[in-house]
Structure 1
């Protein structure tokens, strides 16, 4: 269904609901008995003839993942439908069509297929985005990007800034929801205000276990008023049909479209909430290989790392001794020793715990292990602090803390976040 939340409706505990018409026969159930015919919010809206957007000048924040189930891009489908007055597209990190690498974008240009102006929204502040809304004269901003469930994946913060801009500019905001590919349970430490950046702008845990629609509801109530002085005038979330919190990507029946160049498979998304922490070290996190974030290593790492990790019997994963040569980023062109994670049971696998075990054992084994140090930010020089949300993880690993001790340190704040997010959840299934 479509859930619209105005201030009055939200405070009353209700929201306007628009029932979606039938979208054909349901897909066969997965072998596990869980649903396999998940319908993204964009397909629900298209089946309604885009009625929620009629009579408005529409700008869309999206990237290559903004596709219908038949893999047509929604911008192309909206433009071709004649039912949507599409006046702007806003491209996030990697760009609208997805051609740019990490930390890059495609610039501002006219889309040759639709003739619509594509604005470069990567790195744009809320004020910048509000100026883009004014330049395009939009009435409604639509957000539709496939997230991967990790706080440091920047698309949710593009959405957050876009919402702050919409609140300031008095624009309606519509989220076309999609499944969280790594499920609905939260894991890991909380971001703290002193360490916020574009890889974590607000107090959300490392693996948040929410869809973008659920995050939008939380942002609108808990965080947007802090920066905009008010909530979004009208927030609508078009829910994905058929998703449960215990359903992972392979059970959705949907095709995987790479959200970014280094997120090639659903397995990458499974490990990313943990192994992205290696961006904050001097080890390669596998960028420049065909298995980014599954492969981690350095020229000085060897077989002992895999042996140490296998001895821990981590749930849902086998650890293999591996050697690789990254073509870009850290240690490009050098042969790295290290490990590859082989997820054997996605429902038991814990990405954050696995990464903590990897950090603890690497620190114990290798004198060459070091944290990335950013001299441009002398007050907060360690990138891993910005990824994990505070200096605590780094300091505990340096002090020789074990995996259980490190994880125990954030359980109280994790429970508090689970309570905070509860009113904003939209989908059934286990939520903690």
Structure 2
């Protein structure tokens, strides 16, 4: 049941002739949209999702929930309506290449009556899934998985999950924890989930999960480090207002820094569930100026980029764009704490080392990161590895290195289908 991927679209990255100056409006956060869809599907009343992200990952998530019997009207781009219903099989879910789907929907499928099959793009079968499979099995769920513990996967839903206590090693992805927590209020005994292993990455995404669970009426206790306790109970239907996507904004902010320009992300809320503070720290250390006003979140380039030493474990999704900025900086950088991104859409550390090296940067690969020594960069063809974040990194390099090309820009449809047009429009204002 492997899905059909978008046709490749080679692309010459536009170079900037001067400072960019623009206000951009971006679609909603993929992370928030995915969580809102699952919580709305498991609620007792209907929900509305305002300003959701419409992209491949979220469209596939919506299709997966429809396959399980959920009523989902996505006809209006700015307002989706979710009507809960008893979850049922038999069903087939195409996860594409989305970690959110392959990790958020199997626990929900365990609540369904019937068999639910999961599969996706070829590389999706390489993405780690075993910890969540083993945790669900420990809770009594019947699952057939591949020899590696991942896709293709079959969940034999019995209409209920007893719940109780489970132990997991979530060092490979915070989504293992989030996926279990989102469905936990519907487990008969709730869930006490304990992480044992190296630190869980992407802590802000876990905080987003627990904040959104509470907003839907769940009782969640995370007062003990590496332990999450969710009480059984109903989830309420509500209106979810989705913030602009911070990770999706990163390349646009990088454009301001590379060109010495200014970019404002419009519609940024005064209070955010995304790690805006950490992004601001990183961009400031790299040489940017970050301010927030009623108009939005603004990044100004100062005309210089500095090398940094940084632990990116909380904001690993930013690694490709930060690495691109590091390759254009005035000194070496060391980016650590992101071993788990080897299991993302591609092995991002190996891919960045290869592609930035191809362009002329000196890159040393560590198990958990990269050392990047800037050098005279030259035009190169960046392989994008079907990975939207790799395409973003290449586009950032292309601003400063005329002749930079991408093997495929269509992979950006995963989270921002209009990226090539938005990017070209931004650079045209330089």
Question: Could you tell me the TM-score, scaled by structure 1's length?
Answer: 0.28
Greater percentage in strand: 2
Bigger RCO (CA 8 Å, 6+ sep): 2
